[in-house]
Amino acid sequence: MTGNGDEPFITAVKPLVDAMGGEMLPPDEAGPDDVVLAWEGVDVVAVRLPQLADSLDHILAAMERKQGRPLADLDRKAKQEVVRVLEARGAFSVRHGVETVASALGVSRFTVYNYLNREKEN
């Protein structure tokens, strides 16, 4: 995938690709929907972005790691904050996003909608 001079670039972008739930592959294996990254005029790596639904699962898993416990174990205020962050990241534009988040938080869809409406009122 890389030549010797490309390693610092790959090392630099890998955390971002991982955070997005993407996959890195050689540029010559890039498909039409992949993003090819160039460094100093040379194609270095292709990034295959995840489907939106996969991204939501990845974001929820990252939030759990950051909290150090399952999202369902958080108190109400912390769950409301999670919903606020997810809304800002577009989680509820994904098909079944509310259901996915409700399941991760251990609450009903109705509760997630209440959290969303509460945020809009503030």
The pLDDT value given to residue 2: 45
- State how far the Cα of 66 lies from the Cα of 62, in Å rounded to an integer: 6
- Quick one: residue 45, left, alpha or beta (phi over 0 = left, psi -120 to 50 = alpha)? beta
- State how far the Cα of 36 lies from the Cα of 45, in Å rounded to an integer: 6
Each residue of 4-43: pLDDT tens digit? 557 889 999 999 888 777 899 999 999 998 999 998 899 9
Q: What rounded mean pLDDT belongs to the chain?
A: 88
Contact 45, 27 (CB under 8 A): yes
Matching residue, tokens 């759990």: 64
- State how far the Cα of 39 lies from the Cα of 36, in Å rounded to an integer: 10
